[in-house]
Structure 1
Amino acid sequence: MAGFSKERVDFQILKSFPGIGASTAVRIIAELGDIRRFKNYKQINAYAGIDIQRY
């Protein structure tokens, strides 16, 4: 999958973050799809199911 994703801009951007390799970048793209459809990080957290409740 990483071979197919090498030319994608979002793949290259994700790989530029420290700690994110090719495998993780592909998994993030597979899970989220087009990240531009989310307005902020809170929407991404809620979509992924990691929305933390704070008291």
Structure 2
Amino acid sequence: MRSRHYDDWTIESWRIDPRLRPLDLDTVETDQNPPLWKDLTLASVVAVALWLVAAMILT
């Protein structure tokens, strides 16, 4: 069984030796957010549907 070096897990070592990964700016991300108009349209449709259901229940 291998013993762990708990000194590597201390906060002081994180502050002294930050482990930052280099940024890959050349890669193009395909996971983008949908356009805002799609979000607003969906929210409007859901709001109107809820109002219609509430109107049917309360009348």
Which structure has greater helix proportion? 1
TM-score (norm 1): 0.21
* Larger relative contact order, structure 1 or 2 (CA cutoff 8 Å, min sep 6): 1
TM-score w.r.t. the length of structure 2 is 0.21
